[in-house]
Amino acid sequence: MRWSIAVLLAATLAAGAASADENPWFAAGREAVQRARGLRPDERPAKNVILFLGDGMGLSTVTAARILEGQLRGERGEENWLAFERLPHVSLVKTYNTNQQTPDSAGTMTAIVTGSKTRAGVIGVDERVARGDAAGVAGHELRTLFETAEQRGVSTGIVTTTRVSHATPAGVYGHSPERGWEDDASLSEAARDIDFPDLTRQLVEWPYGDGLDVVLGGGRRTFLPRRSKDPEQPGVTGSRRDGRDLIAEWLARRPGSVYVWNRAGFDAVPESTSRLLGLFEPDHMKFEHDRSGDIAGEPSLAEMTSKAIGILSRNPKGFLLLVEGGRIDHAHHLGNAYRALTDTIAFSDAVRAALERTDPDETLIVVTADHGHVLSIAGYPTRGNPILGQVVSNDERGEPQAVPAPDDNGRPYTTLGYQNGPGWQEPRPDAGPVDTTAPDYRQAAAVYMRAETHSGEDVPVYAGGPGSYLFQGVQEQSYLYHALVEALGWGREAPPESKGGEPAASSSGPAPERSDR
């Protein structure tokens, strides 16, 4: 019996309808297609841009954090969505520096906010500047998106869980041949000889427009002289050798500014405040897991993001805000997946807070990473297996086994591991008697390194709002700047004339690599 095409088509459609009724995966797929069909390019210029950067948040980190967040709610986890994964447009970017296959945060952040790739370890300067050669900086500074925003009268801000002078936030305002020059004590002798400004000084003296309006993060010590005691930890002093109090200078330069250093002060600041500087630790802020134990109290990344939006959104010309989940990276360097993933969840909470506080018709939200890490998700764990736990596989019938799966040497192993890092031991210890879900557990590593390294893989970009359709395909990381400029409508206009001075120039001498890069 021969079947006509019409009969076959009718039978197929009928089967599909039955599948949709009986199979939730099929129905969910159809719904997703319908949502995709409704997407249209929003070519209106964005009034505001929030750039979220999860430092070190590669795809394996996103996947593992997604699962962990769901499991912390008592779900299996795989079906969960982080807040930014609901954004409609997704892209991938290539992260290499001009001189390194696997990048660092200074070169990658420079690419994102200037539109030009550069060397590892340098900030806001082009690839012709040798690392540590401040005398060669003059004439090679790269204009940042935030500098242009300030010249246009747009409000600007930084929110981070790292020191505000660290590589990623410094990319907003800094121009330095060495990312480690966060205070004058860290400068090379050659740099000091020509009075090259350290990164914290560059933040305070930033000459563009009327300066940054909101700065929230850690790093009090780089603002304060060595003789001054920290207000939260009296045994800690400032690190500046020039005797300058840059917090006092920040306040003097910006009438109406408010400075806070603890949770109580932060909570008391009204959103009607015109300018806010918050420095909640002498060094980096706490990991999310440890934040509740802080002596003076720290706001969460979501709370800082919400406060910044409230202050910046008062400008009718719009705002440009960087929000960095910076300690994702630091936990990975420690080989500690628990803190990396819980900081990623906190980062997702900050994106959710921004989505709730902004109008999607006027605010472009872009979420990305500067680079990935060598975290892997491996083995054949059964569905819903604890992402931080030992691998429990399925039996021949596809059902979970009663005990953890052994490796070929007969020892249990974890789903998460690192290609390198401090978790290396030889021979690999038996994970059986160990609580691998504990916050302080370090995942096993294949190669010993005192600090786990970055990876060279592409990282994702998630975008929603006006101009978000521009974030598509596989792009160079420097493309992000150009897409942001286009989304703001600035790419269609002649650049404004400079109203502020150019960044200060000059100095020299290589500095040592830093473990928190």
- The catalytic residues are 105
CB within 8 A of 445, min separation 6: which ones? Answer: 335, 417, 418, 419, 420, 421, 422, 423, 424, 452
Q: Are 240 and 182 in contact (CB under 8 A)?
A: no
- Angle CA(9)–CA(12)–CA(15) in degrees, nearest 5? 150
Q: What is the DSSP string of 43-77?
A: -SPPSEEEEEEETT--HHHHHHHHHHHHHHTTS-S
Q: Which helix (H) or strand (E) holds 20?
A: helix 5-22
Residues β-bridged to residue 416: 377
Query: How many other β-carbons are positioned within 10 Å of the β-carbon of residue 5?
Result: 7
What would the two tokens of residue 281 be?
């630790």
Structure tokens given for 249: 């200078």
Token reading at 327: 């300690």
**Local structure of 301: helix, strand or coil:** helix
Residue entry with tokens 């790093």: 219
Strands 89-94 and 363-368: unpaired
- DSSP class of residue 294 equals -
**The two structure tokens encoding residue 201:** 């000084």
**CA–CA separation, 134 and 139 (whole Å):** 11
Token pair for 393: 């596989």
Tokens of 504: 């200060």
Residue burial 345-356, b: 16+ Cβ < 10 Å; e: rest: bbbbbbbbbbbe
Whole-angstrom distance, CA of residue 140 vs CA of residue 163: 25
- 385, two tokens: 């297996």
Dihedral sign, CA of 266, 269, 270, 272? Answer: negative
Q: What are 102's two structure tokens?
A: 């696997």
Q: Annotate 29-40 with DSSP letters as a single string.
A: HHHHHHHHHT--
Report how far residue 319's alpha carbon sits from residue 316's, in angstroms, rounded to the nearest whole number.
9
